[in-house]
């Protein structure tokens, strides 16, 4: 229980995760198990290809379904690697300026949005829950990582990272032997 109390806060302090902005997400499997896909091909004449496993196919299905389900976000790009997923989300929120949130979320006087019920957090939570229900077991790490995109250069760098991730798999910090 002490471990839970001393967990490092990974969210950007004072940030409003419900603003109109891009957010880069990384969702990892438990113990970095390589169960989502395989990277095949040499990358010399043919770029490395991603071959989804049954777990990866289910993850792919729910990323696309949730993209269609939520009105307040869109999945801009994603890649399903062997033990993690990178997703660029566009949050279609209300732009209240830097780190300012409305007192209420509408006439129903619902609570102020927090990082726990923010658009990216709801997406990740729902995604994991739907996948786990179909898998019959939880395969995901407890936490996910996010990065609020700060400007166009930051956005372009993270999109390039998603596209090039399969080419750099064997050098990736999340690389693990299958």
Quick: pLDDT tens for 123-165.
Answer: 999 999 999 999 999 999 988 898 999 999 999 999 999 999 9
Is 176 among the domain residues?
Answer: no
The confidence score (pLDDT) of residue 6 equals 53
Question: Does residue 105 fall inside a structural domain?
Answer: no
Return d(Cα 55, Cα 66) in angstroms, integer: 17
Token readout for 64 is 């696309």
Q: For the purposes of burial, counting CB atoms within 10 Å of the CB of 113, is it exposed (0-12), middle (13-18) or buried (19 or more)?
A: buried
Region 84-106 average pLDDT:
63
Q: Is residue 1 part of a domain?
A: no
8 A C-beta contact, residue 63 and residue 127: yes
If one compares 69 and 132, the residue with the highest pLDDT of the two is 132
2 located within any domain = no
The dihedral built from the CA positions of residue 16, 97, 86 and 167, taken in this order, carries a sign that is negative
Split into its structural domains, the chain has a count of: 1
DSSP code, position 136: T
Residue 106 is assigned to a structural domain of this protein:
no
Tell me whether residue 107 is in a domain: no
CATH code, 44: 3.30.70.1290
CA dist list (Å): 64 to 70, 77, 84, 168: 10, 11, 17, 25
- 153 occurs within a structural domain: yes
Tens-digit pLDDT profile for residues 7-60? 444 444 544 555 678 999 999 999 999 999 999 876 666 778 999 999 999 999
- Three-state DSSP at 98 gives coil
Domain span at 131: 12-99+113-171
CA dist., res. 58 & res. 169, Å (int):
21
* Whole-number Å distance between alpha carbons of 49 and 43: 8
Instruction: Please check whether residue 88 lies inside any domain of the structure.
Output: yes
CA distances from 114 to 16, 70, 110, 111 (A): 8, 18, 12, 9
Round to the nearest angstrom and report the end-to-end CA distance of the chain. Answer: 31
């Amino acid at each position: 229980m002490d471990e839970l109390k001393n967990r490092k806060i990974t969210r950007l302090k004072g940030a409003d995760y419900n603003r109109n902005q891009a957010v880069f997400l990384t969702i990892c499997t438990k113990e970095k198990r390589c169960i989502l896909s395989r990277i095949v091909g040499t990358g010399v004449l043919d770029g490395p290809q991603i071959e989804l496993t049954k777990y990866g196919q289910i993850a792919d299905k729910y990323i696309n379904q949730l993209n269609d389900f939520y009105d307040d976000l869109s999945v801009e790009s994603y890649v399903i690697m062997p033990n993690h997923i990178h997703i660029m989300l566009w949050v279609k929120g209300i732009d209240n300026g830097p780190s300012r949130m409305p007192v209420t979320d509408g006439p129903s006087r619902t609570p102020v949005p927090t990082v726990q019920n923010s658009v990216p957090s709801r997406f990740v939570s729902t995604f994991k829950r739907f996948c786990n229900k179909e898998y019959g077991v939880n395969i995901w790490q407890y936490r996910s990582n996010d990065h609020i995109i700060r400007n166009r250069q930051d956005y372009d760098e993270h999109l390039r990272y998603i596209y090039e991730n399969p080419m750099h798999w064997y050098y990736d910090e999340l690389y693990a032997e299958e």
